[in-house]
Amino acid sequence: MLRNMLLKFPWNQVRKPNPQPQKSPKANEIKLSGPPCTSSPINQLPVELLEAIFLENLRHAYRYRAELLKLLLVCRRWRSVASRLELISIQVEGEQRVSKLISHIIKLRKANHQEVPHAPTNNLSIKAEWSKPLPELGGLLELLGSSLEKLEIDGDYDGRSLSSSCIQRTTIELPKLRELCFSNARPEDLVLLLCASRSTLQSLYIFTTSLFILPAEGDWKASFPSLHQLRLTNHTIPLSTCMTLCALAPNLEYLEVSILRGGIDALVGVLRSLPKSMKELMVWIRVGKYDSLTGRDPEVRPLLDCIKEKGWKKEVIAHMSCGSWTVDDD
């Protein structure tokens, strides 16, 4: 039925729209061509101020590279400014990528034709692949060490990837380093990095799944006056290492430590020797899968009484493989 209706419809009587004649361009007509409009206030800012705004935005970004890419895609001017910030924060994993990064940095530094050089690197995160060494680690730290403010080094589980010889072959200076995160690597490497950042280091974080014992003697055993925060977050780190580091930090304010259940009494002895500047303490107590630990247990009372006597803010947490809970005064 619909087919018959369409066939009988007088299509020849349908009026077609008249084509509109093209207008000739007027003499005073403005053509929108050429460079984009620069009347926006943000485009009138000096390059230095625009770069400072980008840096502040990137400093608080969760994903640095993703936020930087957004800035690069806005316009040509923003791209020219944001491209100089690509080395502010670097995350690299594996020997091949470290080698490529070193070559890229050397190439950028040799490009003397740039009007404004790249901004220096403030944050560096290095992660080793499983059981593979990083022979270029020392060279990378030598290139970027003068401007680093935060350094993260993560080796494999047994510490074989980051051999101390990789760092000892070079002269490393870390005059601006404030935060050092050291995971699953050799104690000898940590000592070298501590010596290079003695006067500026404020926060030290150590995590390892193997026995971590610092050398008993050496020139590194001197005061770290700026060290305010110390985090030792695995029970494989002996309390002797904790005591050694606390003794070198006369202005320590925050301590986070992890121990086994049988090491509570030894920890109390360490806490009584801490400096008066201490303000906050966090203790992780490793217990068995079917154990229970509360503030009423006799073995915990000396720890809680010591903390109460010192007047510190505290958080004592018992944890196991399937969960954790707070241990406090009942």
What pLDDT, in 10s, does the model give residues 161-188?
554 445 655 678 889 999 999 888 778 8
What pLDDT, in 10s, does the model give residues 39-81?
667 777 777 777 777 777 777 676 777 777 787 788 888 887 7
C-alpha span between 268 and 262 (Å, rounded): 12
Strands (E), 220-267: 229-232, 254-260
What pLDDT, in 10s, does the model give residues 1-15?
656 666 666 666 656
66 closest CA partner among 82, 51, 77, 52: 82
Least confident of 17-26, 28-37, 87-96: 28-37
182 closest CA partner among 210, 212, 153: 153
Strands (E), 94-191: 123-127, 150-154, 179-183
Q: What is the 3-state secondary structure (H, E, C) of 43-86?
A: HHCCHHHHHHHHHHHHHCCCCHHHHHHHHHCCCHHHHHHHHHHC
Residue 136's alpha-carbon distances to 96, 120, 128, in angstroms, are 9, 19, 11
Strands 150-154 and 179-183: parallel
Q: What is the pLDDT of residue 21?
A: 59
Percent of the chain clearing pLDDT 90 (strictly above): 20
> pTM (2 decimals)?
0.77
Residue 202 amino acid letter:
Q
What pLDDT, in 10s, does the model give residues 84-133?
777 778 888 887 888 888 888 888 777 655 545 667 788 888 888 776 77
What average pLDDT does range 231-244 have in this prediction? Answer: 87
306 exposure class (CB count in 10 Å sphere: 0-12, 13-18, 19+): middle
249 closest CA partner among 270, 229, 219, 269: 229
Least confident of 15-19, 85-89, 151-155: 15-19
Q: Taking a C-beta distance cutoff of 8 angstroms, is the pair 319, 284 a contact?
A: yes
Residue 314's alpha-carbon distances to 59, 98, 168, 320, in angstroms, are 30, 41, 39, 20
Q: Taking a C-beta distance cutoff of 8 angstroms, is the pair 95, 106 a contact?
A: no
C-alpha span between 146 and 166 (Å, rounded): 18
